[in-house]
Amino acid sequence: MIRFEHVTKRYPDGTTAVDDLSFEVAAGELVTLVGPSGCGKTTTMKMVNRLIEPSEGRIFLDGEDISTVDPVQLRRRIGYVIQQVGLFPHKTVLENTATVPRLLGWKRASGRERAAELLDLVGLDPRVYGDRYPEQLSGGQRQRVGVARALAADPPVLLMDEPFGAVDPVVRERLQSEFLRLQAAVRKTVLFVTHDIEEAVRLGDRIAVYGQGRIEQFGPPAAVLGAPATPYVADFVGADRGLKRLSVTPVEEGDLEQPPVVRLDDPLPRELDSPWAVVLDSGGDLHGWISAEHAGRTGTVREHARRMDAWLPVGASLKQAFSTMLQHDAGWIAVVDKEEKGRFLGVLTPGRLHEALRRSIDADAQDVPRTTVDIDKVPSG
Ligand X SMILES: Nc1ncnc2c1ncn2[C@@H]1O[C@H](COP(=O)(O)OP(=O)(O)OP(=O)(O)O)[C@@H](O)[C@H]1O
Residue ranges binding ligand X (CB under 6 A):
11, 13, 15, 17, 35, 37-43, 195
- Shorter beta-carbon distance to ligand X: residue 43 or 143: 43
Shortest Å distance, C-beta 193 to ligand X: 6
Contact residues for 210 (Cβ-Cβ < 8 A; gap 6+): 33, 34, 35, 36, 39, 40, 41, 216
How far apart CA 183 and CA 352 sit, in angstroms, is 32
- Supply the DSSP string of 246-302, one letter for each residue: HHH-B--GGG-B---EEETTSBPPS--SSSEEEEE-TTSBEEEEEEGGGTTSSSBHH
Handedness of CA 73, 76, 79, 82 (dihedral sign): positive
- Which burial class, exposed, middle or buried, applies to 124 when counting CB atoms under 10 A from its CB (0-12, 13-18, 19+)? buried
How does 177-187 read in b/e, with b if 16+ C-beta sit within 10 Å?
ebbeebbeeee
How far apart CA 283 and CA 75 sit, in angstroms, is 54
18 near 171, Cβ under 8 Å?
A: no
Shortest Å distance, C-beta 354 to ligand X: 36
* Radius of gyration of the chain, Cα coordinates, nearest whole angstrom: 25
How far apart CA 94 and CA 115 sit, in angstroms, is 6
- Shorter beta-carbon distance to ligand X: residue 82 or 115: 82
Shortest Å distance, C-beta 230 to ligand X: 18
- Supply the DSSP string of 135-179, one letter for each residue: GGS-HHHHHHHHHHHHHTT--SEEEEESTTTTS-HHHHHHHHHHH
Shortest Å distance, C-beta 216 to ligand X: 13
- Supply the DSSP string of 64-114, one letter for each residue: EEGGGS-HHHHHHTEEEEETT----TTS-HHHHHTHHHHHTT--HHHHHHH
Shortest Å distance, C-beta 44 to ligand X: 7
Shortest Å distance, C-beta 173 to ligand X: 20
- Shorter beta-carbon distance to ligand X: residue 11 or 88: 11
- Shorter beta-carbon distance to ligand X: residue 195 or 354: 195
- Shorter beta-carbon distance to ligand X: residue 21 or 225: 21
The H or E element spanning position 372 is: none
The DSSP secondary-structure symbol of 335 reads: E
How far apart CA 175 and CA 173 sit, in angstroms, is 5
- Shorter beta-carbon distance to ligand X: residue 37 or 68: 37
- Shorter beta-carbon distance to ligand X: residue 97 or 194: 194
- Shorter beta-carbon distance to ligand X: residue 45 or 321: 45
Shortest Å distance, C-beta 192 to ligand X: 12
Shortest Å distance, C-beta 165 to ligand X: 9
Shortest Å distance, C-beta 163 to ligand X: 13
Shortest Å distance, C-beta 18 to ligand X: 7
- Shorter beta-carbon distance to ligand X: residue 40 or 140: 40
- Shorter beta-carbon distance to ligand X: residue 17 or 100: 17
